Structure 1
């Protein structure tokens, strides 16, 4: 994944199979008899699947972008501050037993004296969604990669309550009534959000948003 086109192809491939699976599941909901036990069961089962694709595609896209930038072999002075911060923290994490003051000095020294060196951006493990991609975690991950999450800030309640809380209740065996109309609305919202993540990462790579702006 060394070129923008390779990154975009990977993003498109991941999105395609997820979108296909979600549309197929929605088709099953629509074909079930209206307000039947089968349709209600499908709608309930569909919520955890929607969440899985929301977290899965977000993790895939953001991790792919991190890997893409990490393999640019850019210097501290060339990188967006978000990636400088990631690299510095990774460097400090490898220094066991170092005091807080020495960590601060290391950060400053690196920024002052090593601006022309290439940092080791920690991309191999990808981003950590903590298996709980709520709105706060989502927006923080975007910020950590220098990406703008403002366009979906109004979706915070949907992410935290209509998707994540509902998924948790269903996954833990609680009964939650989800009708076909509510499920279809949630389906379209999740498709829209995962497409937003894909498009944001694609545009950032294409526009060089990972570079420091002067």
Structure 2
């Protein structure tokens, strides 16, 4: 079985570092969500009333600034890793990641635009429902990107085992997420990014056959 030699590059190392650090923004996001939930008195944003929103507007804005940053942080690592590659799988990872970023930003923009709603509760606002669906699509695209990316690395002879494991897990999580309409917690995505990042940082030159 052939083993590919990969010349170490600043791009590859930087991508590995970004991916390895990707859980950190999600930790910050969880803290921000907890603060916002405590201020709102509920963890169900659909039940927020105009009066409650007026009181937690600053926390709400904070959540929807941190949220896209958390999603886009690891996505930048994916673009850094696959952006200069030309295989079909690598290009698939880039396209899916790019679309995921767009959806994450649209989701955040929609949620930031509804701080002055006048319906009886947030769940009655059409833009809120649209934002939820766009958010789901963002994560489904991120799963697709990881599937393509993991397989691209395996096919290129890099991170052969790690790439396959990440691709398989991303596929399983993606199926569960789609079937359960958002059943997989968002931070799970960062653990798969972390796995790729650690793999890249541990093997920056000559990947072994069993990597």
Which TM-score applies when normalising by structure 1? Answer: 0.44
